Amino acid sequence: MLTLCLVDSIDKRIMGKFQKEDYIAQLSIDCVIFGYKNKELKVLISKLSYGDNLWSLPGGYILQTESIDDAASRILRERTGLDNIYLEQFKAFGGPDRIIGSEFRDLVRSGLREFDPERFDEEAINWVTSRFVCIGYYALVDLNKVDPKIGEFEEFLKWVSIEELPKMTHDHNAIVTSAHKALRQNLDEKLIWFNLLPDEFTMREVKELYEAVYDKEFPMNNFQKKILGLQVLERLGKKFTGAQNRAPYVYRFKK
């Protein structure tokens, strides 16, 4: 985890030094933010503003005054603008070499120095580039409702198919793999909490989402029975697309 302060700490960012005392040292939260579009499961990742081609998961630090769950919610809110999102802690990562990109460490340090010498003195740079343990959370969001906001040292954020992720800093690729595995477990039970789909959707869309998550085909008829059996959907009207076939029903999650 690299990026430091975010939207709600912009005042501090503008006003002065990075207040490392506000945060727990050597402990970060990394978020695997899942979205879904074009039949693909996507992850929101950030391109760092220095280095040739450095990518990373969005993350942040934990304030002394907040719980780790609150920190994860805050970080997610700061990046996506979204609140009340399904968020699950799935694992902590703590190899002794979890230092900002081992091979990139010097690059990062010089990048930080150039970024804002006023704000990042040597002490702060040491803080940021020390060995970190991170707690991984994953979130499920409606990609269309997200207006990604960059953090410090980030050039831009991007939705990338989980199949086509670039090499990222730290062990972030392994973290995504681990999040993906956690997501696959008991998807049915979590379904109602998911925000991956728009408010109203067809059964085919649910099926395609499952296919993206599990990377395998589900026969429509049995899938329909299974999902309806969960008793979490309510059937609304029909959706007339203009296609020359029977109009599918539209569903939404029961409240």
Partner DNA sequence: TCAAAAGTGTTGCTAGTACACCCATGT
Partner DNA sequence: ACATGGGTGTACTAGCAACACTTTTGA
49 is a contact residue toward DNA (CB under 7 A) = no
Task: Return the one option of DNA, a second copy, none that residue 229 interacts with (CB less than 5 to 8 A, by type).
Answer: DNA
Q: Is 231 in the site for DNA (CB under 7 A)?
A: no
Binding at 65: pick from DNA, a second copy, none (beta carbon under 5-8 Å per type): a second copy
Q: Restricting to residues 215-254, name those near a second copy by CB under 8 A.
A: none
Task: Report if residue 96 touches DNA, rule: CB under 7 A.
Answer: no
- Binding to a second copy by residue 21, rule CB under 8 A? no
What is the rounded distance in angstroms from the CA atom of residue 3 to the CA atom of residue 58? 7
Q: Secondary structure of the chain in the HEC alphabet?
A: CCCCCCHHHHHHHHHCCCCHHHEEEEEEEEEEEEEEECCEEEEEEEEECCCCCCEECCEEEEECCCCHHHHHHHHHHHHHCCCCCCEEEEEEECCCCCECCHHHHHHHHHHHHHHCCCCCCHHHHHHHCCECEEEEEEEECCHHHCCCCCCCCEEEEEEEEHHHCCCCCCCHHHHHHHHHHHHHCCHHHHHHHCCCCCCCECHHHHHHHHHHHHCCCCCHHHHHHHHHHCCCEEEEEECCCCCCCCCCEEEEECC
Interface pick for a second copy out of 22, 40, 66, 121 (rule CB under 8 A)? 66
Which residues from 70-109 bind a second copy, rule CB under 8 A?
70-71, 89, 91-96
Q: Which segment (65-73, 107-115, 159-167, 236-244) binds DNA by CB under 7 A?
A: 236-244
To the nearest whole angstrom, how small is the minimum distance from the Cβ of residue 6 to a second copy?
19
The answer to whether residue 65 forms part of the interface with DNA (CB under 7 A) is no
Residue 181 binding a second copy, by CB under 8 A: no
Contact region for a second copy (CB under 8 A) — 68-76, 150-158, 159-167, 222-230?
68-76
Interface residues for a second copy in 34-63 (CB under 8 A)?
A: 62
Member of 22, 47, 50, 69 binding a second copy (CB under 8 A)? 69
| Residue with Cβ nearer DNA (8 or 189) | 189
Q: To the nearest whole angstrom, how small is the minimum distance from the Cβ of residue 194 to DNA?
A: 19
CA dist 195 and 83 (Å) reads 11
